[in-house]
Structures are given as C-alpha cells and as structure tokens.
C-alpha cells in the first residue's frame, strides 16, 4: 500500500511539473534574413524610379529550417538596409520596403530624402508596429515577398541594396 501511495505522489508531481519542463527545452537562436536588390540603371523615361522584388525563404536559415514547425516566437531586433555597391552617390527622394505574405498585414517602411553612397547603412524604425507585423510573418515558414522601390534624384544610377531582418527565434522541439 505504501508503494502505491508513493507511486501516485511521484506521478502527480511529474504531471504537475511537466508543463514547466517544456519551457526548459526552449531553444533560442539568432537568425538573419537577407534580401539583395540589384537596382538600375535609373532612367528619365521612368522619372528615375526603381523597383526590385525578392522572394525570401526563411528556411534558408539552417537553424530556422531545423525548427520551422516548432517556432514559438520571433522577435525582430533590427531591420537594416545597406548599399553594398553603387555607380555614383545619389539622393533617394523617396524609397520604401514592403514585406508581404498572403493572410498577413503588409509591412511598409519608408526612407525619404536619403543620400546614399558605398557602405551607407540605414536602420528602419518601428514607429508603426512594423516589427510586430514582421514577427508574425516570420513565424510562418512559407516564403515572403520583399519589394524595394523608390525614386532617385538622377539618371543612370545603379546600386545593390541589401535589407537584413535581424531576429531572435524561440523554438521548442516538443511542441
């Protein structure tokens, strides 16, 4: 009888402690997602406007891919843009990044009247909850459409622009 009582007490303790144990198995990792755009040359026929589209597959990140169906949370640390090459410095009278996926709120971030040059970096703000909306998009492992568009101040400019989403991902192998 004492053995049965001890067994019941141990089982009760294990069952009560089990939900907390799942949290102990959470795996946190940093994941960067990069989109690259080759822009130009800008043309007077198009009012110096430009646009590029990139299909970003979150599962190209090996850690993300490993836990894709076990993702609990994604936190955006920063969203940055960087000019990695350019034919001549120029002003972008307006530019924007749009991140979309069917069934989710589209994320739009603007950068207007910005002088760009080789090595130029820009950090996009979170003033309209863009980070929250991007976090929801990145929790879903399906591909994401990233569009970078805008207007340059002069003709004939070519440049490469990289947009990076820096994130911290939490996954749980048991979920």
Q: Is the peptide bond before 41 cis (omega within 30 degrees of 0)?
A: yes
- Average pLDDT score over residue span 97-121: 96
- Give the integer Cα–Cα distance in Å for 93 and 114: 7
Question: String of b and e for 119-129 (b: at least 16 CB within 10 Å)?
Answer: ebebebeeeee
Place 149 in a pLDDT band, splitting at 50, 70 and 90: very high
* CB-count burial class (<10 Å; 0-12, 13-18, 19+) for 44: exposed
Question: For 27-42, how does the pLDDT look when each residue is reduced to its tens digit (9 = 90+)?
Answer: 999 999 999 999 988 8
DSSP letter, residue 132: H
Q: How many helices (H) and strands (E) does the chain have?
A: 3, 9
Are 52 and 37 a contacting pair, CB within 8 Å? yes
Q: Is the pLDDT of residue 20 over 80?
A: no
- Give the integer Cα–Cα distance in Å for 25 and 171: 9
Place 12 in a pLDDT band, splitting at 50, 70 and 90: very low
- What secondary structure does DSSP assign to 4-50, as a single string? HHHHHHHHHHHHHHHHHHHHHT-EEEEEEEEEEEEE----GGGTTEE
Q: Find tokens 């198995």 and name the residue.
A: 25
- Give the integer Cα–Cα distance in Å for 24 and 51: 45
Question: For 66-102, how does the pLDDT look when each residue is reduced to its tens digit (9 = 90+)?
Answer: 999 999 999 999 999 999 999 999 999 999 999 999 9
Average confidence score pLDDT of the chain: 88
Collapsed DSSP state (helix, strand, coil) of residue 125: coil
Domain boundaries, the chain: 26-171
Given this model, what pLDDT does residue 14 score? Answer: 47
- Average pLDDT score over residue span 96-116: 95
- Give the integer Cα–Cα distance in Å for 154 and 82: 20
Q: Is the pLDDT of residue 15 over 50?
A: no
Given this model, what pLDDT does residue 112 score? Answer: 92
What CATH number was assigned to the domain covering residues 26-171? Answer: 2.60.120
Are 87 and 39 a contacting pair, CB within 8 Å? no
Give the whole-number percent of the chain exceeding pLDDT 90: 78
């Amino acid at each position: 009888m004492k053995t049965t009582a001890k067994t019941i007490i141990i089982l009760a303790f294990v069952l009560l402690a089990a939900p907390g144990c799942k949290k102990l198995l959470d795996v946190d990792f940093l994941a960067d997602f990069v989109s690259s755009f080759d822009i130009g040359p800008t043309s007077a026929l198009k009012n110096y406007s430009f646009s590029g589209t990139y299909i970003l597959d979150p599962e190209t990140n090996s850690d993300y891919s490993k836990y894709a169906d076990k993702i609990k949370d994604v936190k955006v640390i920063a969203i940055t843009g960087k000019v990695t090459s350019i034919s001549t410095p120029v002003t972008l009278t307006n530019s924007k990044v749009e991140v979309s996926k069917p069934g989710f709120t589209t994320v739009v971030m603007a950068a207007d009247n910005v002088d760009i040059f080789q090595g130029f970096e820009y950090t996009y703000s979170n003033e309209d909850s863009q980070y929250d909306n991007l976090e929801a998009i990145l929790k879903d492992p399906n591909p994401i459409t990233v569009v970078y568009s805008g207007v340059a101040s002069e003709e004939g400019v070519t440049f490469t622009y990289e947009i990076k989403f820096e994130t911290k991902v939490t996954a749980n192998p048991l979920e």
